[in-house]
Amino acid sequence: MSSSLDDMYREIIMDHYRSPRGRAPLPNADVSSDGMNPSCGDEINVAFSMDKDILTDVHVNCKGCAISVASGSMLAETVKGKSFEDVRKISEIVKKMLKGEEVEIPDDPDFEDLSALKGVRQFPVRIKCALLAWVTLVEGMEKYRAGGADSAKAATTEEDQ
């Protein structure tokens, strides 16, 4: 990987870290899901509203390192208006990208910033930071789907890989 590409990735990540998207409170959220990454100390709350199978609005509040905050911000920018299946597909692509697995990145504006997370694979301890928002959202959506939005088991990247 060329160093200019590294610089570009770093710049995108720092931009999301400095001004995270999706911070606005979502008072009428259908689901609120908390997650944590004990190995780094990142904590996140992802709240969202659903209309049938479509995620209509999302709130992300992450207290953690630059990568966890940036990944949460990218998530907030990406998932609005998507269905549960879309979100799950995107999160699978992100996961594979981070782990350096073979994956086709869709030629889609959604992935313009997200592909900056590829730079994280050089730092294996940071992969959990980048996954935290995605794991927490998918868990929240699964909870919602199961109809048990109250069962408040916090997501954690420690066990959910």
Q: List interacting residues with Zn ion (CB under 5 A).
A: 40, 42, 64-65, 68, 129
The nearest distance, CB 98 to Zn ion, in angstroms, is 13
Pairing between β-strand 54-63 and β-strand 42-51 as defined by DSSP bridges: antiparallel
User: For Zn ion, which is the closer residue by CB, 80 or 121?
Assistant: 121
User: For Zn ion, which is the closer residue by CB, 55 or 114?
Assistant: 114
The nearest distance, CB 69 to Zn ion, in angstroms, is 8
The β-bridge partners of 32 are 47
Contacts of 72 (CB under 8 A, 6+ apart): 20, 22, 44, 46, 60, 61, 62, 132, 133
The nearest distance, CB 68 to Zn ion, in angstroms, is 4
Helix/strand number for the chain, H first, E second: 5, 4
114, 78 in Cβ contact below 8 A? Answer: yes
User: For Zn ion, which is the closer residue by CB, 50 or 62?
Assistant: 62
User: For Zn ion, which is the closer residue by CB, 37 or 55?
Assistant: 37
The nearest distance, CB 81 to Zn ion, in angstroms, is 28
80, 22 in Cβ contact below 8 A? Answer: no
